[in-house]
């Protein structure tokens, strides 16, 4: 059970840092086709809104029973991304509420604040992240070169999306379906250089592979969406890294 708890905590940290930190990616304009995709009538261009993503599949290459259980429990986890101007709020509800975490990102100065809430680990931490913290973390993140195939499309939550594939120097890959009708920079640092806004992506982190799809999209943003919660113990990024190592 201790290993499972460590995995749960590690998932929380990886998920929040991956969404919230800046990560420099390679830019490419390579396209496999130039065919255009049409947007459904219900979809319109948007620079603000709220998108609810759900993990529809998660699997592991490990035969460790606890890792297999963790992968199974990740299915159904949700991530809600709210964006307006240079501010982005990302809330993750993982493993049926076993971990509820939030990151507030300011794209203008590349800073953020993480809120980790993992009851099984007695964790309720607030972590401020400076631009220097982001720069340090991005050193260990992959750098993708993107190609596009507009002949492969999907309708996702009312938006017609086309395939984008990212490959790094180690031949690791990530597959996304993106739309041109959402103009937010909410994923600017996670997928820098990506043309289009991702509404579906399949990614690999260590022995885990997960697929997340947008289930609901709204142009509504509440006036207080960037109000930060209270009652969290303050920690530093160094503290977080040590805990993420399973300490």
**Cβ atoms 190, 184 nearer than 8 A:** no
- Report the relative pairing of strands 48-60 and 208-218 from DSSP bridges: antiparallel
Please write the tens of the pLDDT for every residue from 189-213: 677 788 999 999 898 767 888 899 9
Sole residue written with tokens 């496999």: 32
210 Cβ contact partners less than 8 Å away, ≥ 6 residues apart: 55, 57, 58, 59, 74, 202, 203
Under the banding of pLDDT at 50, 70 and 90, the label for residue 35 is very low
Please write the tens of the pLDDT for every residue from 163-187: 999 888 877 778 999 999 998 877 7
Please write the tens of the pLDDT for every residue from 121-139: 788 999 998 888 877 766 7
The pLDDT of residue 135 is: 75
The mean pLDDT of the chain is 78
Residue 78 token pair: 């949700």
The pLDDT of residue 52 is: 95
Under the banding of pLDDT at 50, 70 and 90, the label for residue 188 is low
Q: Which residues of 117-137 are buried (b: 16+ CB within 10 A; e: fewer)?
A: bbeebebebbbebeeebbeeb
The pLDDT of residue 143 is: 77
Question: What pTM was computed for the model?
Answer: 0.78
The pLDDT of residue 151 is: 97
Set out the domains of the chain in order of their start, with CATH numbers.
2-244 (2.50.20.10)
The pLDDT of residue 21 is: 40
The pLDDT of residue 244 is: 60
Residue of higher predicted confidence among 102 and 41: 102
Report the share of the chain in percent with pLDDT over 70.
Answer: 76
∠35-40-44 over CA atoms, to 5°? 105
The pLDDT of residue 71 is: 83
The pLDDT of residue 140 is: 67
């Amino acid at each position: 059970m201790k290993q499972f708890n460590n995995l749960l905590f590690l998932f929380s940290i990886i998920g929040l840092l991956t969404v919230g930190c800046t990560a420099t990616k390679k830019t490419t304009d390579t396209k496999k086709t130039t065919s255009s995709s049409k947007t459904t009538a219900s979809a319109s261009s948007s620079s603000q809104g709220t998108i609810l993503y759900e993990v529809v599949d998660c699997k592991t290459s490990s035969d460790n029973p606890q890792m297999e259980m963790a992968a199974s429990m990740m299915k159904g986890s949700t991530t809600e991304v709210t964006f307006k101007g240079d501010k982005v709020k990302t809330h993750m509800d993982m493993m049926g509420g076993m971990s509820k975490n939030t990151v507030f990102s300011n794209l203008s100065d590349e800073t953020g604040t993480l809120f980790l809430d993992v009851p099984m680990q007695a964790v309720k931490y607030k972590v401020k992240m400076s631009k220097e913290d982001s720069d340090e973390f991005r050193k260990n993140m992959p750098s993708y070169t993107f190609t596009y195939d507009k002949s492969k499309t999907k309708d996702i939550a009312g938006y017609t999306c086309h395939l984008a594939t990212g490959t790094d120097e180690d031949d690791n890959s990530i597959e996304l379906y993106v739309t041109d009708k959402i103009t937010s920079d909410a994923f600017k640092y996670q997928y820098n250089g990506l043309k289009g806004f991702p509404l579906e992506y399949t990614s690999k982190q260590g022995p885990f592979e997960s697929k997340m799809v947008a289930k609901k999209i709204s142009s509504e943003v509440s006036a207080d969406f960037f109000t930060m919660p209270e009652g969290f113990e303050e920690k530093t990024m160094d503290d977080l890294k040590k805990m993420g190592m399973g300490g």
